[in-house]
Structure formats: C-alpha cells, structure tokens
Chain A
Amino acid sequence: MTEQVYSLAIGFTATCADGSVHESAHFCVKNGEPMFYNTAGEKLTGNTAVVSINNATFLATARIYIGWFKQYREAES
C-alpha cells in the first residue's frame, strides 16, 4: 500500500522533552499519524517528544498545521 505522507513543517530546530535538540527536523502526517522526525528518520516521541520548535518553514496553513500539532501533543501527553 502506498504510504501517504503530508509534510506540515520542515527545516526547524526541535527541542525535546528530554532536552535533546534536533536540527533540520520535520513534522508530517504519515498514514494519518502526525509525527516529528529527525534527519535520521527517527520518530520524536515519548521522552524525545518535541516540546518546542524554532525557525520553521510551515508548509500548511496555520489552521491545518496547529490541528495536527494539537493531535500530536494529545497523543504524547
């Protein structure tokens, strides 16, 4: 089955819950699941869930982006 990927934000610095910082991270919806990924393609979830981002390029309108981001936050909380 073809993977459905919808990029929402790219090229930003993500700070995670454990204090780790990931450059050039991106946020996308893959098969309906909103998720942050680092440049290694690893999900940023759990202890490494993203708590703040900086200097992003947002690829979706603010209403759409924040909706998926909220869904991500709810899943991680």
Chain B
Amino acid sequence: MTISFGGGGFSGPIRSKLSTSSSGSSDTVSVSWAIYAVKPPPPTPPTPPQPKAPVQTTALNSDQAPDNSKKPKVDLGAAQKVATAGDTVPLVFCKRANGVGGAWVSPQLTKTGVNNFVGAFLYPVSQGQIVSSPQKTLAWNGTQCVAFRSDATNITLTHYYSTAAALAAAPNSCPITSGSNTSSGTYLFCDFDVFSYLEPILGAGGGTERDLDVGGKYDFRNEITRGSGDLSNTVLKIPVTQFSVFESISGTNVTTAYWAAVGISPPPTTGDFVFSATTAVYNGVNYVTGGQAPGSIRRSPSSGYTSNSSPYTNVLGGSEPLVFVYTGGTIDNQADLAYRTARGESSTATDTTLDGIQDEEHVSIYADPTSPPTSANFQSYADITFLEIQGNIYDNPANGTYPTTTRQLSIFYEQGVSVDLFSQAKVGGVYQTGASNQFVDLAMHFFKLLRRVDGATTADIATPIDTSNLITLASFCTNNSTFFNGVIDKQTNAIEYLSRSAPFFLLRFISSNGRYSFQPILPITTGQQIDTTALTPAATFTDADILPGSFAKTYAEAEQRREFIASLLWRETNNGEIGQATTTTVRLSTTAVDAPLEQYDLSDCCTSAAHATLFGKYQLAFRKHVTHSISFAISLDTTGLIPTQIIKLQRSRVSSVGDNRTETEHYQIEKISHSTDGVTTIQANHHPLTAGNVSEIANEVVNGTFTVK
C-alpha cells in the first residue's frame, strides 16, 4: 500500500485515498485520510511557585467559621461551644422598645469551676458593660429554659464587669468575684492557674485517679459520696490486690515501689481500700462503723490550701505524675459487722445504692486566690461583661451517671452594652450613656473603641463623624422603626461595616469635608419623615457649567433592571423562644410571583418584619426608577455639595433640523471629588421626580403598592 502526496512539504490538510483489493474478490476498501500539519507541542509552562501561606490567619479563619458565631444556631441542642484563644468577644448592641428588639447571644464557654460539687460556668458575653441583668427565664441550655430545670432554684446567673480604668489602678483586682471565702474555696477565678475540676467516680466497677503536677502550687480536695437511699451502713470496698500504680508518661508499672513506699514489701495480698466510711474507736481500736450519707462532702485539709514543694515530684520521688488504677470492688452494706461483733451487737444491712465516691480538686498558684499578690495582672479582663452561671446545668443524666457536659447556652438581653448616646441631646454639656438601638450610636461607639471619640470629653468639632445631624437622623430611624438590634461577633473594619450597613437604615455613610458623616438616602422632611412633597434641588447645572468633554452617561444594564422579588433575612426577637433568622419577601404588586429572588441579609441588625420590608421597598423602588448614572466635571464647587444631595441638570440638545430641546433630569450625588487643578467631578445616579417634583423613589416607598409575605 502506498501513499502519494502532492507537492512538497506540509501546507495544509492533505488527503489521500487508499484502495486495497484482494485478488479474486470484490473486496475493496476505500479510506479517506486527512492529515494535518503537526506543530511541535508548546513548551510545558514552569510550575508556579507554591504561594506563601498568609500569616496570622488561624484566628481569622476561626473567627469567620459559622460554627464560631455567637448568634443562636439552627441546631439548638448542640453541645456547648468552648472558646479558643483568639476568638472574638462579641459586641451586643440592642435596646428593646415597644416589644421589638433586644438580642439573643450564644456565648462561648471560657472557664468552668466547681466547689462542693456545684458547677460554675463562665462566658464572655460582650465587650462593654451590658445594661440588662441576666434572667433565668431568658436563658436556655440547648432547648431547655434554665428557669424550668429541675434544680432551677439553686441556679444563679451573675454578671461581672470592670472598667479599664479600674483595672489599670488595681491590676490584681479580679473582676470575677465568684466566692470569696478561702475556707469554702472559690468557684471561678481570673488566673489561668487557679482552677478546679472533678475526678471520675470511683465505684464498684473500679476507676482511676490521676496525680496532678502541683509543684510550687497550692491545692485542696473535696470528696463526695455519690448514691441514694439509706447508706448509713454501706461502703465501697476494693481489695489491695485490685490496685495498680503507673507512671503517666512512661506507663511503667510502679505498684511494687508504691507499696514499698507505704512500708509494705512485697506488695500486700490482704487488706482493703474502704471508701465512704465512718469510723469510731472501741476499746482503743479503730473500726469502720458505717457509711457516709449520699451527698455528704469531706474536705482535706479542713480549711485553706496545702502548699506543695517545687519542682514537682511524685510520692515515689519521681518526676512523672502517677495514675492509680482500681479494677473492681464490692458494695458492703454491713460495714460495721466487725465493730458490732466486738461490742456483742448485731449489724443491720442498709441499701446497696452506693455509686461510689468522687473527688473535686482545687489548684491555685496563690496561697489565697481571693487575695492575689500585687504582681498579678488581670487587665485583660477589662471592659468585658462576663456571665457566670452557678448550679446544675449539666445534661440530664441517664440512670446512675453523672454527666459533665452541657448544651449550648443562649441568653436574651433586652438592653445591650451601655454607650454614649449621640442620638440624644446632651445633658449638662455631656452625652448621656445607656443602651441604644440607634445605628448612629453604634457608629460613634465604633470610634470610641478606636479611641477616636469620647462622649464625655471630645468636642463636637473634633469628632470623626459629624455629630450635627445625628439626633435628627436618630429621629428619622425611630419614625421608620429602623433600629439596630444585634450581635457583632467577627473582626470587622469599622468603615467598611458602617458603609455596608448604613443603607439598611436608609442612611449613607459618607466622607465630607474631612470628616465622616451620615446622610439620609432619601429626602426627609423637617419632621424626619420620608419626604413625598415637592423637592428643591441643592444645585442646578447647565451646559455652561459642565466642562466640555467631561459629561458621560451610563445606562444600567437590562439585567440590573429586571423585575425581582426582594427576600429579606432578619432575626426574630421573641423573648419567649430563642430567636432564629427568618425571611420576608417583598415585591411590587405588578411583579410576577415567580420572578427571580434577590436576598438581602439584615440578620445582623434587623429584628422586625416592618424594618426589613421598608428596606426591601427601597431596593425595589430604586431598581424600578433609576435608569442611568452620570458623571461630569465643573469648575471647583464651593457651595459644599455632598453625596446624597439632589441636583438638577439642564442640557440642551441641538439637532441639525432645528429640533432643539432642553433635557432636564434630577440626580442624587453618589460621589464628589475636588482636584488641585480646580476641577470638581460629580458622579450621580438618576433620581427622577414626578411632575410635581416629588421624588419618584420616595413616593414609591411610601405610597407604592407592594405584596409582602
């Protein structure tokens, strides 16, 4: 079979026809080929270098994780979230008014403690001082209200707070004053190295106890009898042969060394550990005379803490903490038998419902943790409201168990942190303080946290945000019920947050004359209502004002102006149940029910359907009426125009056929900039007015026909 090619070299597709035949047969195969010129493969691009991993992102990633949000989650029955280093302490900003508002917080757990087997739990709930006191009726463990737990009467909720100034003056003054009696021990304390915890129960099935490195520290211990019924003659008995000792790190069995240290070598084959027993002396001999009552507690030492030498050595002289293992025992419900026999009396059996004993350990780096030395520094606790819950909020136990887990706490506050109230008039020359639901107060509080303003000392002229219209805008928000009630639980850039959130309150956060400023996004009346009367533009520009060649008009894309349904996500604040995010949909009545949905997330701040609906109406009205935007340049403007102001443009259109006309349109300034060469550039959005000079957008929001669900 041969293939012939025409011409020389490859210059394009070459086709060749092959035919084969076999003698004596009619088999003929025709095949057409197309051979294309083959280019050498492109060089393999070099492997790009591995991008550098950004530094300091572990905490940021943790902060952004949905699981670490301090707002109530969908799974209300989840286990309590424990805080990790670097987590953000949230800011609870809210004020309930007329049955609307307040905020639900699901704080993380930072510390637990126990004293006399009563648990204590510490949660940082907010930066700043929360005004409301914590209420059991407004606190939930998972899906159970704290007020209705079986042990509710013994559960207490307490706030702790200390200002930065107070801690700066006395750094060793821990704001968490939970328990102050050295004899009874403290529940919770600031210092990381002052803590308490429960050992597992030691019962008839055996158990384990662990040594703790308390070298150079102080400690004491409580022991409780766990069980029920009449245990007056019932004890737990574990033979010495059911006992072993191990080094916790190497795992070496040091049981023989243990008994030798006790004074018994070789290890004993007789004798018992007897727990939860009472003793007495008869004829000079000590006897076990009965059992301890269920719930009874023994303290060792009887008061204060025991000092331990440093460095730590275990009781066998080694450096590893030891583990003591009991592998089984029995419940003896005639513990006093030997005693009664010695006395010629009979022994009475009692109940066998003894579960065992449990130890509670207390460790401190101070001899008296309620009075730390002046070297202690607890300033990191400044300006944070801590919630402590004392009492049994553990999961309801299965029969015979003593759970140590809790469900996620959710707590409702009607009034959040106390802030400077720039939304109200000064009293005595200073701004009052208190909880607030005004967005303008939140903005000023951000700058206070940034140390840029203080309501008591900063002159209005020096504030980073122009305060001259804050009271007016607060009234505007009140009239429209556009309040801020929410929890800010992530690191955020203040300017970005305020810029992004302001429209939710029909406001705009702008920069003007070297300061930030809030302006209403719609024209408002002197009564701080949306203005649906005739408007007077702030300025009028004609062709004579516009620098030649600077005018540009851009129409919105059709896709951006299509009909849509606004889906608003907001958060319920029914104080009888944990607030969850919910949605309200708004559409123009002329919009089809199956129009595309566009979602707006107001769940960080909005707690009413009315507020969400108002914002939805504005978005729909804007999309309906705004068709284009413009930009143009003029000679330096000295009239003080700012973004959000309405301006009028009158431009002449001259045609060759004499069909001249004047086009008049109104616009809302979006951006205005001044250059050093004496030019002011204005960017503005179309803001049509009716024939009566009423804002079309404002009129649509107030008087338009919408369908809300």
Q: Interface on A for B, CB 8 Å cutoff?
A: 4, 6-7, 10-12, 15, 24, 26, 29, 32, 38-41, 50-59, 61-67, 69-70
Judge if B159 is at the interface, Cβ distance under 8 Å: no
Q: How far is the CA of A66 from the CA of B359 in the complex (A)?
A: 16
Contacts of A41 in B (CB 8 A): 284
Closest to B283 in A: A39
Tell me the minimal C-beta distance from B113 to chain A in angstroms.
21
Q: Interface on B for A, CB 8 Å cutoff?
A: 202, 209-211, 221, 240, 243, 245, 258, 261-265, 268, 270-275, 277, 279, 283-288, 298, 300-302, 315, 322, 324, 357, 359
Given contacts A66-B315, A67-B315, 4 further A-B contacts (CB under 8 A): A6-B300, A7-B286, A52-B263, A61-B324
Interchain CB contact (< 8 A) of A62 among B258, B270, B277, B302: B258
Name the residue among A39, A50, A66 with the largest chain B CB count within 10 angstroms.
A66
Q: Given that A10-B287, A26-B286 are known contacts, is A62 also in contact with B273, CB under 8 Å in the complex? A: yes
Q: How far is the CA of A69 from the CA of B211 in the complex (A)?
A: 15
Q: How far is the CA of A41 from the CA of B283 in the complex (A)?
A: 11
Q: How far is the CA of A25 from the CA of B272 in the complex (A)?
A: 15
Closest to A54 in B: B264
B284 and A40 contacting across the interface, CB-CB below 8 Å: yes
Interchain CB contact (< 8 A) of B263 among A7, A38, A50: A50
A58 and B274 contacting across the interface, CB-CB below 8 Å: yes
Closest to B321 in A: A63
Tell me the minimal C-beta distance from B205 to chain A in angstroms.
15
Contacts of B261 in A (CB 8 A): 66, 69-70
Of all A-B residue pairs in the complex, the 6 with the closest CB atoms, nearest first, are A39-B284, A52-B263, A10-B286, A4-B302, A26-B286, A66-B315
Number of A-B contacts (CB under 8 A): 94
Q: How far is the CA of A70 from the CA of B317 in the complex (A)?
A: 10
B275 and A59 contacting across the interface, CB-CB below 8 Å: yes
Tell me the minimal C-beta distance from A26 to chain B in angstroms.
4
Name the residue among A6, A39, A51, A61 with the largest chain B CB count within 10 angstroms.
A61
A58 and B264 contacting across the interface, CB-CB below 8 Å: no
Tell me the minimal C-beta distance from A76 to chain B in angstroms.
12
Name the residue among B211, B262, B300, B357 with the largest chain A CB count within 10 angstroms.
B262
B284 and A61 contacting across the interface, CB-CB below 8 Å: no
A62 and B268 contacting across the interface, CB-CB below 8 Å: no
Q: How far is the CA of A51 from the CA of B197 in the complex (A)?
A: 35
B322 and A12 contacting across the interface, CB-CB below 8 Å: no
Q: How far is the CA of A38 from the CA of B283 in the complex (A)?
A: 12
Closest to A74 in B: B309
B286 and A62 contacting across the interface, CB-CB below 8 Å: no
Name the residue among B271, B301, B324 with the largest chain A CB count within 10 angstroms.
B271
Interchain CB contact (< 8 A) of A57 among B263, B272, B359: B272
B265 and A52 contacting across the interface, CB-CB below 8 Å: yes
Tell me the minimal C-beta distance from B223 to chain A in angstroms.
8
Q: How far is the CA of A38 from the CA of B322 in the complex (A)?
A: 31
Q: How far is the CA of A63 from the CA of B263 in the complex (A)?
A: 15
Interchain CB contact (< 8 A) of A55 among B268, B273, B300: B268
Q: How far is the CA of A4 from the CA of B303 in the complex (A)?
A: 10
Interchain CB contact (< 8 A) of A29 among B202, B243, B268, B300: B300
Closest to B255 in A: A62
A63 and B271 contacting across the interface, CB-CB below 8 Å: no
Contacts of B277 in A (CB 8 A): 59
B265 and A58 contacting across the interface, CB-CB below 8 Å: no
Closest to A24 in B: B285
Q: How far is the CA of A32 from the CA of B306 in the complex (A)?
A: 10
A54 and B262 contacting across the interface, CB-CB below 8 Å: no
Q: What are 18 residue pairs bridging A and B, where the CB atoms are less than 8 Å apart in the complex?
A: A4-B301, A7-B279, A24-B284, A24-B286, A26-B286, A29-B300, A32-B301, A39-B285, A40-B284, A53-B264, A57-B274, A58-B240, A58-B271, A59-B274, A61-B359, A63-B210, A64-B300, A66-B261
